[in-house]
Amino acid sequence: MRYLIVFLLLMPFPLAAQPWVSTDYSIASSHDIYYGSATGFAGAEDSLLLDISFPTDDQPPVCGRPLLIVIHGGSWMAGDKDEGYATRFREDFAKRGYVVASINYRLGLFHTDRFVNCNVADWNCFNSTDSTEWYRANFRGIQDVKGAIRYLVGQKAQYEIDPDNVFILGESAGAFIALGVGFLEDNEIPNGIVSMMPDAPAPNTLYENNCIKKFNLANSINEMDLSRPNMGSVEGSLHTSYIDSFTIKGVASYYGGVFHNIFRSAKPQPALYLYHQACDLIVPHRTGRLLAGYNTCYSGFPANCGTIINRPVVWGSYTIADTLAAMLQNGENTPELEFEGINFNYNCLQQATNPAIACHAIDNYALRTRNLASFFSRFVSSCTVGSTLIDNSELLKVYPNPSSGKVYVESRELISNLEVSLFNSVGNLIAVYKFSGFSATQLDLDSIERGFYYFKIRASNNPALNRVVPIVIK
């Protein structure tokens, strides 16, 4: 019997699926969706695109699925929504039940007019005209992401999104942006840094081909608008007329940071996940200048580069975690924190010769993303519906409400296929009604027990009619 017990304990029993954690679902994706345009750093208008993935065989909550925004890295000069980690995050979290959008945002900053040269790939491109350029590039990204959220919340019926469950994830520069989206408020912006500034000097021609044109930041230096206008509110101007509200429940930063303390707020703050390796050469894990390890790496033999100029001081994840701990001890309002600090100590030469141990990366993707999914799952709130108990919009009417057993659904236009799903108050599916060639119908709910329910209405030829309607059976 002893051996039988040992054998049973060692058998690989399957783990139960965990909502929002297990990758249970098949997904579909749409690419290059235009979500708006905005003026870039050099005056040109940038068209902003996103890719979106969502489950196809799940049973979404009646108020919709959580929305996750994924923001790529690239030092605010490079990177794309459909490269590297951005694609993996998008697809993997969609398999967990999220609607996930990886987005492009405005890239670029003004390079210095000085001739600061080193024959190392891309080293020159990090020499900016002044340190505020890094902050302003990050600020543009924050504005774009907020506009993308408003756009997607405005499409909540089409993608079945719950605006009360929005999450943000970024890596590297995208993590700086994610933190800003979740925590930066207008009253926390340093004085003058996003207001109108003196025009930038024209970048040195050294940077035109190998930086500006290489990363498609501008067609040429001569075509650049060198003015630096007031950048406005952190909210930006994209889709600000949209009336739907949303709530950011969680923010994830993979090897990112902040330019200063943006966590002092009396308002409820999103939960925060931080991941960082101590040997990161690009974003210091504590407090230091951006690209500190990278700069040191190439300042010695054999490259013998000089110092990359005009780099800002930033707080890495370790400093953020220490700061939040001190604030919490002082009784200040702080976000709930999950911090994974990895204390590898690979030096520059080791990372250069073995990319597998590069520290500006994720050491174990499957482990870290599952840890993040487990953390985020704690903050996906249950479905809540406002107090309005009747949908009487211009296009669709559901009445009477409350009802004693007969409910009428009417549309102002013919619907080729209509599906009305009835859920109880805890989200269990009770019944499904399907109609073809529909403009008005009566639903017989006499056999339904009294209580609070939800209709999920889906029209195949008009997504504008898709909605969730609370209904009381009395």
| Per-residue pLDDT tens over the stretch 169-182 | 999 999 999 999 99
Residue-wise pLDDT tens digits, 379-402? 999 765 443 344 445 567 787 777
* One domain for residues 255 and 345: yes
In CATH, what number is assigned to the domain containing residue 457?
A: 2.60.40.3080
Residue 326 has phi, psi (to 5 degrees) of -65, -40
* One domain for residues 30 and 170: yes
State the pLDDT at residue 395.
67
* One domain for residues 132 and 104: yes
Q: What domain count does the chain have?
A: 2
Give the whole-angstrom CA distance, residue 359 versus residue 345. 9
Residue 2, in any domain of the structure: no
Per DSSP, which regions of 20-62 are E strands?
27-39, 45-55
In the chain, the amino acid numbered 258 is V
Span 426-454, mean pLDDT? Answer: 79
* One domain for residues 25 and 110: yes
State the pLDDT at residue 232.
96
* One domain for residues 411 and 312: no
Of 422, 419, 424, nearest to 383 by C-alpha is: 424
Read off the tokens for 10.
């060692």
* One domain for residues 155 and 92: yes
Task: Identify the band that residue 372 occupies on the pLDDT scale cut at 50, 70 and 90.
Answer: very high
* One domain for residues 240 and 281: yes
* One domain for residues 156 and 304: yes
Q: Which of 330, 347, 377 is the last residue of a domain?
A: 377
CA distance to 281, 294, 335, 386, 394, per residue, from 352 (Å): 11, 10, 36, 55, 62
* One domain for residues 371 and 406: no
Task: Identify the band that residue 445 occupies on the pLDDT scale cut at 50, 70 and 90.
Answer: confident
Span 114-118, mean pLDDT? Answer: 95
Q: Which of 344, 377, 410 is the last residue of a domain?
A: 377
The domain of 132 spans 20-377
- The sign one gets for the Cα dihedral 34, 37, 40, 43 is positive
415 has pLDDT over 80: no
- The sign one gets for the Cα dihedral 274, 275, 276, 277 is positive
Residue 4, in any domain of the structure: no
Residue 185, in any domain of the structure: yes
Q: Which of 350, 377, 404 is the last residue of a domain?
A: 377
* One domain for residues 53 and 154: yes
Burial class (CB in 10 A: 0-12, 13-18, 19+), 126: buried
In CATH, what number is assigned to the domain containing residue 198?
A: 3.40.50.1820
Residue 234, in any domain of the structure: yes
Residue 239, in any domain of the structure: yes
State the pLDDT at residue 473.
80
The overall average pLDDT reported for the chain is 89
Residue 180, in any domain of the structure: yes
Alpha helices in 332-399 (DSSP H): 348-353, 365-377
* One domain for residues 139 and 51: yes
pTM of this structure: 0.81
- Provide Rg for the chain, Cα atoms: 26
Residue 45, in any domain of the structure: yes
* One domain for residues 362 and 422: no
Span 66-88, mean pLDDT? Answer: 97
Residue 431, in any domain of the structure: yes
